[in-house]
Amino acid sequence: MTPAAVPVEERLFSLVLALLATETGLTKNEILSTVQGYHQRFRSGGDNANLERQFERDKDDIRDLGVPLETLDSPGDAGNNQTLRYRIPKGAYELPTDVTFTSEETALLNLAATVWREGSLSGESRRALLKLRSLGVTADEPLLGYAPRIRLRDAAFDPLDAAIRKGVRVRFAYLKPGEEKATERDVIPLALVQYQGRWHLSAERDGERRVYLLRRIIGPVTTGKPATMPEGDLPAEALAGLQAVWERNVAELQVEAGSDAALRLANRDGAEVTGDHAVLHFVDVNILADELSGFGPEVLVLSPPELRDAVVARLRGVVSAHGGA
Amino acid sequence: MAAPKPQPFQARDKLAFLLSLVPYLMDHDRVTVTEAAAHFGIPPEQIRDAVNLIAVSGLPGETSAYQHDDLFDIDWDAFENDDEIVLTNRVAIDDSPRFSAREASALIMGLQYLSALPEYADRASIASLIAKLSRGTSGAVAPVGVGGAETRESLMPSITLIRDSLDRGMQLEFDYLNARGELERRRVDALQVESVDADWYLRGWCHLREAVRTFRLDRISRAEVTDEPVAHRVSEVRLPELFEASPDDLEVVIDVEPSAMPLLADYIPDGARGQQEGTRVRTAVRVSHYHGLKRLIASMPGVVTVVSPPEARAVVAEWAASAAARYRA
């Protein structure tokens, strides 16, 4: 006879309840033989390999939700998997009592959550809002008139994010502009940051900090051995590093007065446009070259020479690809 | 190709909801299903399902038999007759759960992004919220961040004016340079400011075109709030999606490197089929005119080529050639 299937959420909920209620912890065997959703499928004295695998996946699932599932060695029997005990300590599970949010803050967090309308972080922000609602605070009237959105379309984001949280090395193929073939990188991933609308990976390679653009990562990201993460506010350091590069790099252009290029470049941060002369800051010469190629004859690059060359090469490439002379 | 859709409500969402609903019910002696649904932004039917599940859940207990005292319980009469939820017995859970590292970082990045808006320019409120979220997180917050948005100060004067026109319900007037290079004075009922990553847009009812139009903020200049009240508000107008297709759009066939496909997603019509063409994908994009197309294609050199129609190819080639010619002088 097949027992009636217990829905996944009921099994997970029962597991969390059972582990929250125990001070001393439960062994795997106790869990599988008693907890709702497992005990229906438990074979006393028989083979429970499938059920054990199920339990392993469930543990990952509830940890992903921020539930701090702990394991304790039994006294005098350290390292024995059979006597390992599982529990969820209440102090680490519950939101600290001094973490409260006002109606105004709740409204701001609601708006912050709406920036993720696609990709894996939309699910995360949806679950964060459920937990926020649990506190019972009614949000202030939403701030009307804003619909902000961050995009997350780089396939490398999720595997890199997972690797960073696990603290493991990664390998990926990276296509540098101007190179024919992508080449392999083996790095310690440190932080993912969006700077001026583009996602970057800050990483350590041969003891040095490097920055990689996510959109230039080609194909799968594979994980390697555990690595030692440096201390510090890694995203803030990565952003400060990008900002420093941006400030250092200066381009000089001639722009056609009254053109789309003149107006949009003048509206760029840190840009100075006087008559038909423009001075800009930038992070990456190839990205700026792409952008400036789009403006066509409205822009003439004066310096630096590598930007000028990059734009000329792009324009000639577009002409020949489209049957021009 | 449509933009990736948000994931549907999965087991993980359902578990997060159960763990969130219990403390809420504990704090509210008596709450209707409708109130709870409105508070959580979840359909009433899903609230009822969750309450039904909670009411039969609990602990295995001493006897491992899930005895009555080891289970949650509710006032069944109130639930069945009046659609009201009253918890009469509770087990194991005392308080709201912490945020996971990824949940907290999703909210923190959202807040960092919002700090580009004039309302939050002081950033003190944002910083204190980020600190609170970090303390309310299980484990360390994932190392992610959003920056460079706060440097959008060049657009701040326009955003502040739009904000002012929205708050006061007065029409906005500005010079707008469209993608064809035409400069016009536009008078607009501002509806909404939208942004995608580092790009900012104003959606508004345009009195010149008598329709909803989208304006890039970096193409707006000489903006001012008039003393003419607006005729349209966002609640009264159907606001299309930011990159929604128009029936007047032109369709252009392109070959594109697979790695560059995400950059073109907004231009590829829903349901368009991609077909392998060597190492590239042959697909279609829709554009309102070739002036926009030539700028788009020239800004993605080496990864996308226009295949047809021939006029479109010629416009792109001519645009790039006239630019390249400037370097020969």
Domain ranges within chain B, ordered by starting residue? 11-89, 100-150, 155-236, 250-325
Q: Please say which residue of A194, A209, A234 terminates a domain.
A: A234
Predicted confidence (pLDDT) at residue B242 exceeds the cutoff of 90: no
Out of B3, B94, B199, closest to residue A90 by CB: B94
Cβ pair A61:B15 closer than 8 A: yes
Position B306, amino acid: V
Cβ pair A194:B148 closer than 8 A: yes
Residues of A in contact with B299 (CB under 8 A): 290-291, 293-294
Residue B141 contacts residue B108 (beta carbons within 8 Å): yes
Structure confidence by residue, pLDDT tens digits, A107-134 = 999 999 999 988 888 999 999 999 999 9
A126 to chain B, closest Cα gap in Å: 8
A71 interfacial to chain B (CB closer than 8 Å): no
A4 interfacial to chain B (CB closer than 8 Å): no
A285 interfacial to chain B (CB closer than 8 Å): no
Residue B227 contacts residue B171 (beta carbons within 8 Å): no
The stretch B71-81 carries a mean pLDDT of: 95
Classify residue A131: in a domain, yes or no: yes
Architecture of domain B155-236: Roll (2.30)
* Beta-bridge mates of residue A198: A195
- The per-residue pLDDT for A291 is 93
Cβ pair B327:A312 closer than 8 A: yes
Average pLDDT, chain B: 88
Considering only alpha carbons, which residue of chain A is nearest residue B305? A321
The CATH number of the domain holding residue A175 is 2.30.30
A84 interfacial to chain B (CB closer than 8 Å): no
The stretch B210-216 carries a mean pLDDT of: 91
Q: Which tokens belong to A95?
A: 């939101």
Q: Please say which residue of A133, A152, A171 terminates a domain.
A: A152
Residue B107 contacts residue A113 (beta carbons within 8 Å): yes
The stretch B205-215 carries a mean pLDDT of: 92
- The per-residue pLDDT for B258 is 83
Residues of B in contact with A130 (CB under 8 A): 13, 16-17, 20, 40
B126 three-state secondary structure:
helix
Look at phi and psi of residue A128 and say left if phi exceeds 0, alpha if psi is from -120 to 50, else beta.
alpha
Structure confidence by residue, pLDDT tens digits, B5-48 = 445 678 889 999 999 999 999 999 999 999 999 999 999 999 99
Classify residue A282: in a domain, yes or no: yes
ipTM: 0.88
Considering only alpha carbons, which residue of chain B is nearest residue A144? B192
* Beta-bridge mates of residue B282: B255, B275
| Residue in this structure with the two tokens 């125990």, named with its chain if needed | A22
Q: Which range of residues forms the domain containing residue A47?
A: 8-93
Asked whether residue A136 falls in the same domain as residue A171, the answer is no
Architecture of domain B250-325: 2-Layer Sandwich (3.30)
Cβ pair B107:A238 closer than 8 A: no
The stretch A248-270 carries a mean pLDDT of: 90
Out of A118, A124, A296, closest to residue B323 by CB: A296
Cβ pair A319:B297 closer than 8 A: no
Classify residue A196: in a domain, yes or no: yes
Q: What's the total number of domains in chain A? A: 4
Out of A34, A108, A117, closest to residue B6 by CB: A117
